[in-house]
Structure 1
Amino acid sequence: MSLKSLLFAAAAVVSFAGVAAADGAKIMVHDQYARVSAKMSTSGAAFMQIMNMDTEADQLIEARSDIAKRVELHTHMESGDGVMKMVHVEEGFAIPAEGSHMLQRGGDHVMFMGLNQELKHGDVVPVTLVFKNAGEVAIEIPVDLERKPAHGSGHNHSNN
C-alpha cells in the first residue's frame, strides 16, 4: 500500500471511534478491543491493528497497564508436538514503515496476567504502548466479550 493510500485510509479511519494516534500521528491504533476467556479469568488479552505512518520501521517493545500485575507482548507458537502455546516476545513486534501489524486472536497480542479486577463487557482498559522510535502511545481499549474470533481477520494488513 502506498503512503498516499495509507494516509487516505488512515484519515477515513480517524472519523470512527476507537482510533488513537501518537503525537505527530506516526503511529495509529485501530479496532482495539480486550477480552477474557471466562467471567472470573485472572488473565485477559488485547488485540488491535497498529499502523505506522512513518517512512521508517518501528518496533512495539512494551505495553503497560495498571489493569494487571504483568502486561506482556505475546504470540502463539507451536511447541513441537502440535500443541499451540503462548510465549512472551521480549523483542516485541516489528511495525513496518508505511505499513501495519495486526495483534489478533491466535497470533500476536497484548497479554494481561494477574488481573486486578474483573473485565466486564463495556469496560475500558487504559494501556500505554511503547515504541522504539515513536515513544509512548496512550490508548483506551474497550472490553468486548461478544466479538467472534474471526472478526477482522479479512483485514489483516500485516507486512511482516
Structure 2
Amino acid sequence: MTLKTTLFAGLSALAFAMPAFAADITIDDAYARSSGMSAKAGAAFFVIHNTGAEDDQLIDAKSDVAKRVELHTHKDMGDGVMKMLHVPEGFAIPAGGEHTLARGGDHVMFMGLNQGFAQGDILTVTLTFEKAGDITVEIPVDLERQDGMGMQHGKMDHDKMDHGKMGGKMSDK
C-alpha cells in the first residue's frame, strides 16, 4: 500500500469515527466486527450520549448489510453458558447520561450477512429512538480492535451460544 493510500484510508476512518448526532442524542466511538469474510453474523458497538432533559429509548436498528438486524444483549443462563437475546424493547438512554453498547453486552446484531465484513468497510446503520427519531450512522468495520470492554469472552462457550435462527459465531478477537 502506498503512503498516499494509507493516509487516505486513515483520514477516511477518522472522518467516519466522528460522532453522529440528532437533537440531544450523540453516537460516539462506533465500530463493527464479524469473525471473518465467511461469517454469517456480525455486530456493532458504540456509546449513545443523551444530553437532553428527557430519557430516550433506542428501539430499533436497520441496515441493508444483513437479512435481519436486531438489538441484542448477552445473558448468563447460570450454567456457564452465555446466551444472546433479542431485546425488542431496546435500550434506555437516561437524560444527561449514556448507554454503552459493547462486546459481551448490549449490541446491534447483524444476522444473515449479505457479504462478509472486511477491515475498513463502512456500514450504514439507521438507529431509531423513541423521541429523537432516526439517526443514520456510518460505522467503520474494525476487525483488529482490542478494547477490553464487556465481559471475559474467554469464558464463553461459543458453540453453545444461541445466536437465533440465522446464527453464526462471533470471534473472541
Structure 1 match to 2:107: 109
- The answer on 1:21 being equivalent to 2:55 is no
Quote the offset at 1:117 in angstroms: 1.0
Partner of 2:93: 95
Instruction: Look up the match of 2:52.
Output: 54
Deviations 1:59-107 (A, max 9, x none): 0000000000000000000123121110000100000001000000000
Task: From the CA coordinates, give the structure whose radius of gyration is larger.
Answer: 2
Partner of 2:163: none
Aligned length: 137
TM-score w.r.t. length of structure 2: 0.75
Q: Using the alignment, how far apart are the partners of 2:42 and 2:129 within structure 1?
A: 22
Cα distance 1:33–1:16, how it changes in 2: closer, same or farther (>3 A)?
Answer: closer
Q: Indicate how the Cα distance of structure 1 residues 83 and 17 shifts in structure 2: closer, same or farther if over 3 A, else same.
A: closer
Question: How much has 1:17 moved relative to structure 2?
Answer: 3.8
Q: Identify the residue that residue 74 of structure 1 maps to in structure 2.
A: 72
1:128 correspondence with 2:126: yes
Gaps of 5+ in 1: 1-14, 154-160
CA distance in 2, matches of 1:97, 1:71: 26
Contact (CA 8 Å) 2:102, 2:149: kept in 1 or not? Answer: no
Sequence identity of aligned pairs in percent?
A: 60
- Give the match's secondary structure for 2:78: coil
Q: Which runs of 5+ in 2 are unaligned?
A: 1-14, 152-173
Alpha-carbon distance in 2 for matches of 1:39, 1:58: 35
Question: Partners in 1 of 2:17 and 2:150 — Cα distance?
Answer: 16
With over 3 angstroms needed to count, the CA separation of the structure-2 counterparts of 1:84 and 1:110, relative to structure 1, is same
Q: TM-score, normalised by structure 1?
A: 0.81
The whole-number CA distance in structure 1 between the counterparts of 2:17 and 2:126 is 18
Matched-pair contact (CA < 8 Å) for 2:17–2:30: no
Amino acid at match of 2:76: E
Q: Report runs of 4+ in structure 1 exceeding 2 Å deviation.
A: 15-18
**CA RMSD for the aligned pairs?**
1.9
